[in-house]
Amino acid sequence: MQVSILGPRQIIWQGRVKKLLLPAEEGEMCVLDFHQPFLVRLSKGQIQLGIEGRAAVSENKILVKDGIAHMRGNELTILIEA
């Protein structure tokens, strides 16, 4: 899926991932390719990106204070205060 993580003034991260973990208000949420559409509020925690490389899947983490995530089609847009 295509993921865009946006801060108040800049693009924090953009790219393609196979798996993503979000710190949703109601608990951790796993998002995979072609997930159903959703709009969810994020709480304090970290976004974990599963980025597929040539040899293996690497993990990147982005800290979040607050935010929202919107999934539509196979595109996930995340607006955060980091």
Q: What is the pLDDT of residues 27-46, one digit of tens each?
A: 999 999 999 999 999 999 99
Q: 8 lies in a domain?
A: yes
**Residue 72 counted as domain residue:** no
Residue-wise pLDDT for 37-79, tens only, equals 999 999 999 999 987 655 555 568 999 999 999 999 999 999 9
Q: What is the pLDDT of residue 2?
A: 96
Question: Could you tell me the CA-to-CA distances from 33 to 8, 16, 37, 71, 73 in Å, in that order?
Answer: 26, 10, 11, 10, 10
Is residue 4 a part of any domain in this protein?
Answer: yes
For residue 15, the Cα-to-chain-centroid distance in whole angstroms is 10
Residue 27 pLDDT: 94
Domain assignment present for 19: yes
Alpha carbons 81 and 66: distance in angstroms, whole number:
5
User: Does any domain span residue 26?
Assistant: yes
List, in sequence order, every residue forming a beta bridge with 13; answer none if it has no partner.
5
70 in any annotated domain: no
What residue numbers bound the domain in which 23 lies?
1-30
Domain count, the chain: 1
